[in-house]
Structure 1
């Protein structure tokens, strides 16, 4: 019952507050990218405050997260990590579903922020656009963030990797830093109730450039699922 009440309060406070940050991000578009970074980061800080004090969820990072010169491949179990990456990384270029850009105000603000959208239904065309956006992010010394499984996966259930991470790895010629996490223990993929506790982000061993696709995918898959116990 306590978790249910906390979840209700969190939902009301967070989504009402998100409206303010979304409007602020949209309004900052004419002022250029350096200005627009403030609203998403503030939104992520606000979300962490809501998690910490309304849900009782803390985040612990084991290891050092790279802030440039790498592709960061994260496990994806809950909405939690989609906001945390804006708090934990400096100016991240995030790979995510292009259909999210249809959200009013939020979509244009995300484009201005420099996200890397992927339209899965367009196949090779989507991959080319993703690689072009990825190269632009690298030129700006921004970390490229990707959820290689492509969708949220219940805790304890590893899923096959999408081809996007291998394409980025080859085209950008950057090392991959895999990150395991266990948010799904407290925050169900589809459930409404969130539970108090600690979510761990565990930074794995850096995977160097130049490896065969099969090897790099196997190493990423093993590393991001290190907390799937």
Structure 2
């Protein structure tokens, strides 16, 4: 009975957060059409709504640890569910994501993502997309801010192992900016798939910066160790053993 009730609450919660994209998008549309600041404000308003309703509708609390960057940098983050996207974006002043191209055609999400300066990439053509993005940055066509990439390329369930892809190291080398790793445990309360939301606290943690200029191999080894070690720590803190998943 308790599980069924939580599922119903979760279904209502999921439905209303996607519905709220429409009125928030419409309210901010005039400002967003003339300024990326308007698009940024709209997305932050929606993130705040999601976090507020998650707390009292399904018992999901959210916490941001560490110091979110306010300067231009590369953010490389563990990706477990949509919740880590929400928390990271809400925490930085001018976040923009490297995202799947098909999302750019989604109603409201796609239009606002374009205004934010998000970078669409084709699956299977990631290296070409990154090179184009770097060229765009060099020509000043992308809005300054915090560029966010998920190094494993997709959402990864808690405890599941997946390789880190080369895109992060290419961006790190070409942009010549420091990298801010981000760990998370949000997949425990907001799974990567399905309706059910589980009461608890979803955490993202901004970790100490990795300085610019490291060799690719050293950077990738340090990045993966930092993100995975700290994500595992956050999951254990929440009562989940990531080493027990097979």
Q: Same fold (TM over 0.5)?
A: yes
2:58 corresponds, among 34, 55, 59, to 55
Structure 2 segments unaligned to the other structure (5+ residues): 233-241
Q: How large is the Cα RMSD of the aligned pairs?
A: 2.1
Farther off after superposition, 48-57 or 137-146: 137-146
Q: Establish whether residue 20 from structure 1 lines up as the match of residue 35 from structure 2.
A: no
Provide the rounded CA distance (Å) in 1 between the counterparts of 2:63 and 2:170.
30
Deviations, residues 28-57 of structure 1 (Å, cap 9, x unaligned) = 443121222211111111111121121211
Please say if 1:220 is aligned against 2:223.
yes
User: Any residues of structure 2 matched to 1:1-229 within 5 Å, and which?
Assistant: 1=3, 2-24=5-27, 26-135=29-138, 140-225=143-228, 226-228=230-232, 229=242
Q: Do the aligned partners of residues 145 and 123 (structure 1) sit closer, same or farther apart at CA in structure 2, a change above 3 Å counting?
A: closer
- Alpha carbons of 1:9 and 1:219: their partners in 2 closer, same or farther (altered >3 Å)? same
Secondary structure class of the residue paired with 1:120: coil
* Counterparts of 2:27 and 2:124, CA distance in 1: 32
SS at match of 1:37: helix
Q: Distance in 1 between matches of 2:72 and 2:102?
A: 28
TM-score, normalising length from structure 2? Answer: 0.84
Inter-CA distance 138–195: structure 2 relative to 1 (3 Å threshold):
farther
Looking at structure 1, the residues matched to 148 and 136 of structure 2 have their Cα atoms a distance apart, in angstroms, of 12
TM-score w.r.t. the length of structure 1 is 0.90
Query: Contact (CA 8 Å) 2:84, 2:204: kept in 1 or not?
Result: no
Gaps of 5+ in 1: none
Q: What is the Cα deviation at residue 90 of structure 1?
A: 0.8
Post-superposition offset of 1:215: 1.2
Which consecutive aligned stretches of 4+ in structure 1 deviate over 6 angstroms post-superposition?
136-139
- In 2: Cα distance, 1:114 partner to 1:6 partner: 34
Distance of 1:136 and 1:54 partners within structure 2: 45
